[in-house]
């Protein structure tokens, strides 16, 4: 079997590796238009912030290592520009030389990722503006900071990446302003949690400009629609990801309402010989089954595994997306899983919530912190529908436990009965997750 993979970052590299594990005799070729394969996108902000001092540490594989260890051919600087579904051919362009050639496939896996959304503003060409999506983007930003030594930055967009950038740039001694058009940072969060995030950012010296957008830019001067003026030596755009679906769309594959390539529960597109995974793939939401696209690393890796198992003839089916995620915000963390209040109201699902505030572990133990945990559950069945948390250490543990509870179909009352590990450095005899269950009674 001859398999071509388009894209060599999280989804594509993992798919190739997983396929080699289950199909040792397959001929596997990977093409990627970038300069670097298999790098950790999520680690890039921390390279910029100096937390990760050696940028090469976020690269987990090279074309040479893939060839040597897995017998997989990887070609970087090579872009697949056309798919001929009838002939089962792809046209590949060497972006360095401009020369093109064709390659054939039995199965084709699309993992083209997404591109950073880059809105345009009047006078934008007068400013130094960056996006962070590729390894090359990261290197460009690192060089700019090293050479120009900027003292201020405007981050446009207060989502997960925008908030992480605000922290790491601030830790580099750069004055940061975040411009967010919604009422709170990370607008996907419910207000009870989002307000805590805003407070943490402000307490650490990050200027927040909410419910407004850029009107125009004049060099280092950004005028906002509410009349505020922000001085910034450079601008970081962090306003979302656009799925790279041009190749799939030109080949006649169906594009869904989320803007991603439509897939079934084994990641096949509308052409059964072509699969799609990662940021550009549209799946379904866990509870409603409606189309959903989550551009996060876990989903790309899981989808890669599902493709490999299907090619092996032992299919494993994707069960839906919860969107479980977490982000570090200075000394605090913010995390979520499942549905929010707004999502539930939009779907007309009756729900109730429990909000619990406590210590992350025994209050008498020197190393403890605060936690605010919100859990949402179905008003009739009492099954857990979602959770959000903000606070110090152990936020990841609580959200992960609740994500597992959702996966297992547990009720909010079951949370009280969970036997969770306890020792004063880690928790309390009644963990915050247990307390949510007790409160719900």
Structurally, the chain folds into a number of domains equal to 3
What's the whole-number mean pLDDT along residues 303-309? 98
The reported pLDDT for the residue numbered 23 is 98
- Among 312, 345, 373, give the residue marking a domain's end: 312
Work out the end-to-end distance of the chain between its first and last CA atoms, rounded to an integer number of angstroms: 56
The residues, ordered by sequence, that sit 6+ positions from 229 with a Cβ below 8 Å of its Cβ are: 221, 222, 223
What's the whole-number mean pLDDT along residues 107-118? 95
The reported pLDDT for the residue numbered 134 is 93
Same domain, 110 and 122: no
Q: Name the nearest CA neighbour of 298 among 12, 66, 11.
A: 11
Q: Kindly tell me the sign of the dihedral angle through the C-alpha atoms of 73, 135, 116, 203.
A: positive
From CA 300, how far away is CA 290, in angstroms rounded? 19
* 57-85 confidence digits (pLDDT tens): 999 999 999 999 999 999 999 999 999 99
What's the whole-number mean pLDDT along residues 43-64? 94
What's the whole-number mean pLDDT along residues 393-417? 97
* 320-336 confidence digits (pLDDT tens): 999 999 999 999 999 99
The reported pLDDT for the residue numbered 119 is 92
* 177-216 confidence digits (pLDDT tens): 999 999 999 999 999 999 999 999 999 999 999 999 999 9
Residue 323 lies in a domain: no
The reported pLDDT for the residue numbered 187 is 93
| 408 — pLDDT class (breaks 50, 70, 90) | very high
The reported pLDDT for the residue numbered 181 is 95
Same domain, 100 and 12: yes
236 bridge partner residues: 130, 155
The catalytic residue among 22, 42, 52, 349 is 42
| pTM across the whole model | 0.94
Torsion of CA 436, 437, 440, 441, to 10 degrees: -140
Strand order in the sheet with 332-338: 325-329, 332-338, 384-391, 370-378, 351-359
Residue 328 lies in a domain: no
Q: Name the nearest CA neighbour of 196 among 26, 9, 390, 388.
A: 390
The reported pLDDT for the residue numbered 325 is 96
What domain range is 361 assigned to?
335-440
For the chain, give the percent of residues with pLDDT over 90: 99
Residue 418 lies in a domain: yes
Residue 329 lies in a domain: no
Same domain, 434 and 370: yes
What separation in angstroms does the CA of 47 have from each of 40, 103, 314, 361, 439? 10, 36, 39, 31, 42
What's the whole-number mean pLDDT along residues 112-138? 95
What's the whole-number mean pLDDT along residues 287-304? 94
Same domain, 110 and 143: no
From CA 388, how far away is CA 259, in angstroms rounded? 26
Residue 330 lies in a domain: no
Tokens standing for residue 110:
């699309």
Residue 325 lies in a domain: no
What's the whole-number mean pLDDT along residues 12-25? 97
From CA 160, how far away is CA 156, in angstroms rounded? 12
Return the top range by mean pLDDT from 270-279, 291-300, 361-370.
Answer: 270-279
The reported pLDDT for the residue numbered 164 is 95
Residue 64's CATH number: 3.50.50.60
Count the Cβ atoms, other than its own, within 10 Å of residue 50. 12
From CA 90, how far away is CA 256, in angstroms rounded? 23
Same domain, 94 and 194: no
The reported pLDDT for the residue numbered 19 is 98
Q: What is the 3-state secondary structure (H, E, C) of 34-59?
A: CCCCCECHHHHHHHHCCCCCCHHHHE
Same domain, 206 and 269: no
Which single residue is written with the structure tokens 């996006």?
Answer: 131
Residue 435 lies in a domain: yes
42 is known as an active-site residue: yes
Mean of the per-residue pLDDT values for the chain? 96
């Amino acid at each position: 079997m001859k398999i071509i993979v388009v894209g060599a970052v999280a989804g594509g590299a993992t798919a190739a590796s997983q396929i080699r594990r289950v199909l040792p005799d397959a001929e596997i070729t990977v093409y990627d238009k970038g300069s670097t394969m298999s790098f950790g996108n999520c680690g890039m902000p921390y390279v910029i912030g100096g937390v990760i001092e050696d940028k090469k540490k976020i690269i987990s594989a090279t074309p040479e290592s893939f060839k040597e260890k897995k017998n997989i051919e990887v070609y970087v600087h090579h872009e697949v520009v056309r798919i001929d579904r009838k002939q089962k051919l792809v046209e590949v362009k060497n972006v360095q030389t401009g020369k093109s050639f064709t390659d054939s496939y039995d199965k084709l896996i699309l993992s083209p990722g997404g591109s950073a959304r880059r809105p345009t503003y009047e006078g934008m060409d007068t400013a130094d503006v960056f996006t962070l999506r590729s390894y090359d983007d990261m290197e460009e930003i690192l060089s700019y900071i090293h050479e120009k030594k900027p003292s201020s930055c405007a981050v446009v967009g207060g989502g997960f990446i925008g908030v992480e950038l605000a922290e790491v740039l601030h830790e580099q001694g750069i004055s940061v302003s975040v411009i967010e058009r919604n009422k709170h940072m990370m607008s996907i969060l419910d207000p009870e949690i989002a307000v805590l995030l805003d407070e943490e950012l402000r307490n650490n010296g990050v200027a927040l400009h909410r419910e407004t957008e850029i009107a125009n830019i004049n060099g280092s001067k950004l005028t906002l629609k509410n009349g505020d003026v922000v001085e910034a030596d450079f601008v970081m755009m962090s306003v979302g990801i656009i799925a790279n679906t041009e190749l799939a769309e030109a080949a006649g594959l169906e594009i869904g309402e989320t803007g991603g390539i439509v897939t079934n529960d084994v990641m096949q597109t509308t052409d059964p010989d072509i699969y799609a995974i990662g940021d550009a793939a549209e799946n379904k939401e866990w509870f409603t089954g409606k189309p959903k696209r989550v551009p996060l690393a876990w989903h790309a890796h899981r989808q890669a595994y599902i493709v490999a198992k299907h090619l092996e003839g032992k299919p494993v089916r994707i069960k839906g997306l919860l969107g479980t995620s977490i982000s570090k915000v200075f000394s605090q963390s913010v995390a979520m899983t499942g549905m929010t209040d707004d999502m539930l109201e939009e779907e007309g699902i009756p729900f109730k919530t429990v909000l619990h505030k406590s210590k992350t572990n025994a209050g008498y133990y020197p190393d403890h912190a605060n936690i605010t945990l919100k859990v949402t559950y179905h008003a009739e069945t009492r099954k857990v529908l979602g959770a959000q948390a903000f606070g110090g250490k152990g936020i990841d543990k609580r959200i992960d436990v609740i994500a597992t509870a959702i996966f297992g179909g547990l009720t909010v009352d079951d949370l009280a009965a969970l036997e969770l590990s306890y020792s004063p450095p880690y928790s309390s005899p009644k963990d915050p997750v247990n307390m949510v269950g007790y409160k719900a009674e």
